[in-house]
Chain A
Amino acid sequence: MPFFPRSASAERQAENSSSGAARRIRKTGVVAAAAAVVMALSACGGGGSAQSDDGPVELRFSWWGGDKRAQLTQEAIKKFEAENPNIKIKPEFGDWSGYWDKLATQVAANDAPDIIQMDEKYITEYSSRGALLDLSKYDIDTSKLDEAALNAGKSEDGLTGIAAGINAATILANPAVFEAAGVPLPDDSTWTWEDFGRIAAEITEKSPKGTYGAAAYGTDEASLGVWLRQDGKSLYTSDGKLGFEPADIAGWWANLKQLSENKAVPTASEVVEAEAAPLDQSGLATGKNALAFWWSNQAPALEKASGGDLKILRFPTKTGDAADAGLWYKASQFWSASSRTKHPEEVAKFINFLANDVKAGETLLADRGVYPNSEVRAAIEPKLTPADVKVVKFIDQIKDELGEAPAPPPKGAGSIQEIIKRYTSEVLFERLSPQEAGKKAHDEMKSAISS
């Protein structure tokens, strides 16, 4: 052991001064390594897609929906790509539940898909904040589109959505469950809410345990909208406010509570569990419910999942007259585009294909509702499956019974469904009375759409 140990740095110093060249080399090495690292990092960050004008353009297209829709839509994409070899469409799809969180994040991160399947609940939210492209400035033919459907996509921000289909709120019935219980199917042109409750309770009683006459309503705004319209009210007013009072929604929940007490609908726990189930595993598709609340365009997919025959019914009324059902034609969903897309021309071309091309119609059929383009609708009629035909017939059938078109959902309407669901379970679990729930939900909805 040395008596005075030399410090490490002193040792290094000696070494350094003895070989300056080596030091220089080492230094260059360090700088080079650092430069390499920085370059590698910046290469990761930059996603600049340098594309020449005639090179292939890639567009991202996102939608929500089940397996059947994914299959049909991808087929339509293939047909489009075959005609337009320079445009590639990259599909992104998933369930409704995760769709909106994902879209909000993508838009915020400036990474929105080029083509977006949009819902009426969110279209004002996105278009009023400048996230959607005004499609009227591009080459999309709207002359053949149903006027009401076309207008649904228009606002002060321009034409930000082209209706993909027309649908209506319906009640779907599973005749097999009716038959097993020995209960006749109702006449949907005269039935009342009382009939609905009575029939559903009877089916529950005469069916095996775990099967119920009807699915509970109260998991979205469609059934509430119908109920309010039958009372001469509405979900929203044209100036973007709520079109009903706490007492109106309380009455709706009181009726649901009555249904629940009569065991016409599943237990509160089962209702909560059913909310999370995808369409293919819903009570109607699995034969656990005889009646359920769905949009008309969902009938074919449900029929496929149930493996049997389904019947489309009108909503019950309070008067027993189908003319008072208060139904309306809804744009099932919209084709929208991101305002930040780099290729608006190609996007418009694709949307035009989806909306107006018979080839697209022949593939998509009625999955997103009845085609708004009258020419396509006529051309694809022979190709429709029996399930699709039922939907088209139903839409046709209710034409003369429709009420006034409802006001478009205002900004913030995307949160309404969640509020309805939450208070529905508060009522079903008897944690709140329908009156209390009505008041609280009304307050919350009011602040959701006014902020």
Chain B
Amino acid sequence: MSAISELSTLSRRKGKATAEEKKANGRDNKAAYIFLLPWLVGLVAITIGPMLMSLYLSFTDYNLLQPPEWTGLDNFTRMLTDARLHNSLGVTFTYVFIGVPLQLAVALLIALVLDKGLRGLPFYRSVFYLPSLLGGSVAVAILWKQIFGTTGLVNQVLAMFGIQGPGWISDPSTALGSIILLHVWTFGAPMIIFLAGLRQIPHMYYEAARVDGATTLQQFWRITMPMLSPIIFFNLVLQIIGSFQSFTQAFIVSGGNGGPSDSTMFFTLYLYQKGFGQFDMGYASAMAWFLLVIIGVFTAINFIASKYWVFYDD
């Protein structure tokens, strides 16, 4: 830090050098931009361009086959009275606010166990991480559908105990729960991050606590939790953002229709149906921007709340 500020005062004193330096900097930047170009073109063409386009489309009536027609705020006012949209928000919120805390709790628990220094740790780490890699995939969603079907594995096991299980994913009262379970099962990614976080907590804190006679539980709440809180916060933000956008599981498990009876109709799934199934791309674009606002709001709340519970060591 200090070396750099020293340098800048030094160069500021030499007026002539500054001008030349600027020139040189400009040249440097140009080269940098040229090398950045492939990425920049991708960013503009594949991300920013379509985003702006969808912002425009959200103010239009666009049926995919004909040019869009400007309708102002019409799409947004329609959203106020769309009962299926409100239902899809309810489904998504349930998924996020039950699925994410559950998943993080499981991830933390497993990480704590693994951190105790198990033999063959790399093996278990990989095994537990595996679902994270697979969980978002189509194959696993199809597998899930089989396991939780009326005559699936779960019900076969239940039948051994004389219990007649429901059709977990085909019954509106249990379908969403099955998908939340699938989400919880993919706890591997946050688990790995927790594990790394746990490794960074200096051992001396625990040693000191033990000397003072602290119980394991006290050590957990007084040392592990505060020291780990930045990591928990990081995982929480990432998972909430990700969960609001989840689509694949619900799409595959419900066969693309968010059924039965809209019980797994996620916001993103409804958006997809509106846009590609019902030729209402203007409305779908408006929904996408609404989702962006929702995610933004929850991320902001997260950051504001973090001031009260996240503890930074340094």
Contact = CB atoms under 8 A, between A and B. Distances in A.
Interface string B132-160: 00000000000000000111000000000
Contacts of A31: 34
A429 B3 contact: no
A342 interface: no
B230 interface: no
A431 B172 CA distance: 9
A408 B25 CA distance: 69
A363 to B, nearest CB: 32
Given A101-B277, A267-B150, 9 more contacts: A10-B17, A33-B34, A34-B34, A98-B256, A129-B63, A269-B166, A269-B167, A415-B277, A418-B277
A105 interface: yes
- Is the interface on chain A under 10, 10 to 19, 20 to 34, or 35 or more residues? 35 or more
Contacts of B196: none
B259 A272 contact: yes
Interface of B: 3, 7, 10-11, 17, 20-21, 24-25, 31, 34-35, 37-38, 41, 63-66, 149-151, 166-167, 170-172, 255-257, 259-262, 272-273, 276-281
Contacts of B273: 418
A38 B37 contact: yes
A123 to B, nearest CB: 13
16 contacts: A13-B24, A34-B34, A41-B41, A101-B272, A130-B65, A268-B170, A269-B150, A269-B170, A270-B167, A273-B149, A273-B170, A412-B278, A415-B278, A422-B261, A425-B260, A448-B278
Interface string A400-435: 000000000000101100100110011001010000
Contact of A5 (B3, B17, B167, B278): B3
A445 B66 CA distance: 23
Given A34-B34, A107-B64, A126-B65, A429 B41 contact: no
Residue of A97, A269, A422 with most partner-chain B CB within 10 A = A269
A38 B152 CA distance: 54
B27 to A, nearest CB: 8
Interface residue SS majority, chain A: helix
A418 B257 contact: yes
Contacts of B25: 9
Interface of A: 4-5, 7, 9-10, 12-13, 16, 30-31, 33-34, 37-38, 41, 97-98, 100-101, 104-105, 107-108, 125-126, 129-131, 210, 267-270, 272-273, 275-276, 412, 414-415, 418, 421-422, 425-426, 429, 431, 448, 451
A414 B63 CA distance: 13
Contacts of A13: 20-21, 24
Contacts of A418: 257, 273, 277
A415 B274 CA distance: 10
Contacts of A97: 255-256
Residue of B11, B35, B260 with most partner-chain A CB within 10 A = B260
A107 B65 contact: yes
Contact of A272 (B65, B66, B260): B260
Given A422-B257, A425-B261, A4 B167 contact: no
Contacts of A7: 7, 10-11
B37 A129 contact: no
Residue of A30, A97, A414, A422 with most partner-chain B CB within 10 A = A422
B281 A108 contact: yes
Nearest to B145: A276
Contacts of B63: 129
Nearest to B149: A273
Cβ-closest 3 pairs across A and B: A269-B167, A129-B65, A108-B64
A100 B277 contact: yes
Contacts of A412: 278
